[in-house]
Amino acid sequence: MSERSDKSKKVTLDEVAAVAGVSPATVSRALSRPGRVNYKTAQRVLLVAKELGYRSDKVDSFREEQLHGMVTAIVPDINNPAFTTAIHTLQSTGIRRGFSVTVSDSEEDVSQEKRLLSNAAQLADGVVLISPRLSDTALRKAAQLKPVTVINRIVGGLPCVIPDLNSSLDDAIDQLYAFGHRSITYLAGPTLSWQEGHRWQLVAQLCAQRGIKVRRMQCEAPTYRGGYHDFQDFLDHPTTAVIAYNDVMALGFMAFLKQHDVRIPDQVSVVGIDGTRLAQMFEPPLASIIIPRREMIETGTTMCIDRILHAADPGAAPIRHCATSFLPQASIGPADR
């Protein structure tokens, strides 16, 4: 009779956790979604559960620690081709790791980005922030609640992925210098963008090294329409070359120049930053810095999921740099033409 009672006694999740040497929450994840737990840990838990005869139709008693299986990505402008092309990468990377991915658009609004981040910290297992505009303090506070990865910006203490623009911008400005350009206008992006400050500093530094005069003109938005703004000041005081914060601004500015019968590149050479496919469909095709968005998004999403699953290498560098390259196109040419 006692033997029958021992056989019929139900093995609890806590007992499996004790023998496996892990927490009950880890046992729950390993049995319900083994892809979200370190491989060796999952195998150990499954082996212990089998040996003890653990059976359960439902392994979700630890709701406060149970994963939702979702990662949220927040972007500043989903209409920008540089971001739309990355959505597929976000989703495919998440799916390979057993996570669904939602994408939210802050529309370049800091207060909206704050609300989206607050919601994501409550509902998602982790957050991937692409070019966030919030302060470092706000981002670090969010990271205290859920794993956060930042793409296209450096935030102290958080895992970040950024493009290395030094050599590619150096190549672009070197090409302009070789073409005889000695004056450049930089079309600036959003004032709250970390990348804006970084790009402007690089352009100013590289121009100064070559004795090129450079000035900064503020755009009202980092969009095609922002680049098409009425730049009467540029027409009154033109430079022979222009470098824009991103491709869509550069394309808008090219349309503005054409509207005012300014020939490209005969009178003004134009360079963008992003390397979007759209930039190659214009006439003339836009010379641009190619940023490996897909690589950056895949790296950032993987870093976030690794932290969700406690599979991140503690010795890994918190900042990953991705190489960029300069693509010369017909939008640049000799200054004396």
Q: How many CB atoms lie within 10 A of CB 23?
A: 13
Closest by CA to 177, choosing from 143, 209, 139, is: 209
Q: Please tell me the predicted confidence (pLDDT) of residue 274.
A: 93
Q: Please tell me the predicted confidence (pLDDT) of residue 22.
A: 86
Q: Please tell me the predicted confidence (pLDDT) of residue 39.
A: 60
pLDDT per 10-residue tile (average), the chain, 337 residues: 49 85 78 62 80 60 60 90 80 91 92 95 93 92 92 92 97 98 96 91 95 93 84 92 96 95 96 92 95 94 90 75 97 89
CA distance 225 to 269: 19
Output the six-digit token pair for 211: 């004795």
Residue 164: beta bridge partners? 323
Closest by CA to 214, choosing from 279, 169, 154, is: 169
Chain position carrying tokens 């909206």 = 112
Q: How many CB atoms lie within 10 A of CB 31?
A: 18
Output the six-digit token pair for 249: 């601004």
Helix/strand/coil for 78 = coil
Q: Please tell me the predicted confidence (pLDDT) of residue 1.
A: 39
Q: Please tell me the predicted confidence (pLDDT) of residue 112.
A: 96
Q: Please tell me the predicted confidence (pLDDT) of residue 337.
A: 61
Q: Please tell me the predicted confidence (pLDDT) of residue 230.
A: 76
Q: Please tell me the predicted confidence (pLDDT) of residue 316.
A: 67
Q: Please tell me the predicted confidence (pLDDT) of residue 255.
A: 95
Q: Which helix (H) or strand (E) holds 99?
A: none
Q: Please tell me the predicted confidence (pLDDT) of residue 157.
A: 86
DSSP state of 87: H
Output the six-digit token pair for 216: 């900064």
